[in-house]
Amino acid sequence: MRIPSTQALRALVSFARHGTVWQAAEELNLTRSAVSHQLRMLERDLDFHMLNRVGTRVELTAQGRAYADDVRQAMLAISGSAARNIGRGVAGSLTVSCAPGFASSWLCNKIARFVSTYPDVALSIITPRRLGALLHKSREGFIL
């Protein structure tokens, strides 16, 4: 048994989620042939039967579904760990200047996630009454 490629594992998880090679290919921005190839290589590398081929249709075996679920859980754990650790070690301050409407309609939904991801960054939000004042007094690198 060889360790499967990440691309083959992503193809498997996408195929399991959608149920068709075509939809998996769409999601992964690959050709159907590339997804089929990845699935065949995965079966070869793992040395167990994961797919049933019925005419032109391909479906997962019970063992294939169980393996795909395990892989999906592992990928979620990896991405969750990355998200939790991405902000560690980042410190300082960030000032965001933007129009009040933008702050209330879009930015407010993003603040909690930013603060939890980057707990050591002091965040300030400035919303002047007039956008012109914002343009003339800006010290920030960008204006939203």
pLDDT one digit per residue (tens) for the chain, 144 residues: 788 899 999 999 999 999 999 999 999 999 999 999 999 999 999 999 999 988 888 999 999 999 999 999 999 888 877 767 766 777 788 888 777 888 888 888 888 888 888 888 888 888 877 666 555 555 555 555
Q: List, in order of start, the domains of the chain with CATH numbers.
A: 6-84 (1.10.10.10), 92-137 (3.40.190.10)
Q: Which residue has the tokens 């009454």?
A: 129
Task: Give this prediction's pTM.
Answer: 0.60
Q: Chain-centre distance of CA 30, in angstroms?
A: 17
pLDDT of residue 131: 60
Q: Measured in Å, how far apart are the chain's first and last C-alpha atoms?
A: 52
* Dihedral angle over CA of 87, 88, 93, 95, nearest 10: 10
